[in-house]
Structure 1
Amino acid sequence: MKNRTFRDAMGKFATGVTIVTTKVNDQTHGMTANAFMSVSLDPQLITISIDNNAKMLDYIKESGKFAVSILKDEQKEVSMHFAGQKDNPDVVSFDEVYGIPIIQDSLASVICEVDKSVEAGDHTLFIGEVLELKLTDGSPLAFFSGKYGSYQVV
């Protein structure tokens, strides 16, 4: 099976869009990701998947903490900035919780301490213990088959 076919098949799973952030030496680092899921309610755990070649991998290992901000439908430009599709830092505003940057006005932000990491193929899974949550109202930014969209209730 070709990597492109596998990637296309995985793209058929509609997801939300998140920004994973951390802070190292007073520098904020972030990346767009959709490989995110909840793992456990007790204790509260989530997982993110980071490419082993991504700079973010070392930043999270060094800081030991990260946040996942779930984007609203009007935050597409924020996603594109952190995905390297558009260089537009003016669209990004941060708040901080426990010294970890989160995307301001996102639908939800999940602030975590790394519980453990597991190498899996060409990615590393970080399991984060939830320290804090921040929620707002709005509609989610969606991603399907390589394209942004919005979620419609039916």
Structure 2
Amino acid sequence: MSTATEVRAPRRPVRQDPVERRRALYHLASPVSVLTVGPEERLHGTTASTVTLVSREPLLVGVVLRAGSSFARLAAAEGRFAINVLSDEQAVVARHFADSGRPDGSEQFAGLAWTADSYAHAPLIAGALAHYTCRFHSAHAAGDSELLLGHVVRARTGDGLPLFSYAGGLFAGSLRPAKEAAAS
């Protein structure tokens, strides 16, 4: 049973400079991941900067991709995929899988250390902070994007600091504790 609620547009449109609105969205920092799908004869990877926990029970993660993403189509066809949360030392990997001019298939992974996940048969990239092996749950159109949901069946963690996407660039995470505001 669906409990989705449709939000109605305000009666009077809000007027704002679209450039300023988009610039404000660049201030949403997010960890960078490479999504992978297999098996070896149909390997594919893509960089994603929007991966988030959607549900703890069942354990679901959401990934936002552009509408018509070939990764979403392949993940749905295979019924499983992997998420590799990149470390701050893997900016080159993030850029490689974001490049639309990279080779197709297994050639995308040439020169990259990885192992095939035993369940998803998708590449698990060496040095990643975490790997999530997912069973495809569903995909949903969302404006000019597509929301891909995966049921996490296995997760592994590594060591290091995260790679973040922020203000249109890639940054190493420091994980400094936040400064607390003084009580008034």
TM-score, normalization by structure 2: 0.75
Q: Among residues 169, 172, 180, which one is paired with 1:150 in the alignment? A: 172
Q: Which has the higher strand share?
A: 1
Unpaired stretches in structure 1, ≥5 consecutive residues: none
Match of 2:97 in 1: 82
Distance 1:43 1:81, change over 3 A: same
After superposition, what is the alpha-carbon deviation per residue over 1:76-113, rounded to whole angstroms, capped at 9, x for unaligned?
A: 11001001188585552222221122212200011101
Kept in 2, the 8 Å contact 1:81–1:89? The answer is no
Kept in 2, the 8 Å contact 1:51–1:57? The answer is no
TM-score, normalization by structure 1: 0.88
Unpaired stretches in structure 2, ≥5 consecutive residues: 1-15, 103-107, 178-184
Distance 1:133 1:58, change over 3 A: same
Q: Among residues 44, 57, 64, which one is paired with 1:29 in the alignment? A: 44
Identity of aligned residues (%): 27
Match of 2:9 in 1: none
Q: CA RMSD in A?
A: 2.2
Q: Secondary structure at the match of 2:28?
A: coil
Distance 1:30 1:2, change over 3 A: farther
Kept in 2, the 8 Å contact 1:80–1:86? The answer is no
Distance 1:89 1:118, change over 3 A: closer
Q: Among residues 66, 69, 72, which one is paired with 1:57 in the alignment? A: 72
Equivalent position amino acid for 1:49 in 2: V
CA distance in 2 between partners of 1:3 and 1:103 (Å)? 37
Match of 2:114 in 1: 94
Divergent runs of 4+, >4 A = 1-6, 85-91
CA distance in 2 between partners of 1:140 and 1:91 (Å)? 22
Q: How many residues align?
A: 154
Match of 2:151 in 1: 129
CA distance in 2 between partners of 1:149 and 1:34 (Å)? 12
Kept in 2, the 8 Å contact 1:24–1:62? The answer is no
CA distance in 2 between partners of 1:126 and 1:143 (Å)? 19
CA distance in 2 between partners of 1:7 and 1:65 (Å)? 33
Moved more, 101-110 or 87-96: 87-96
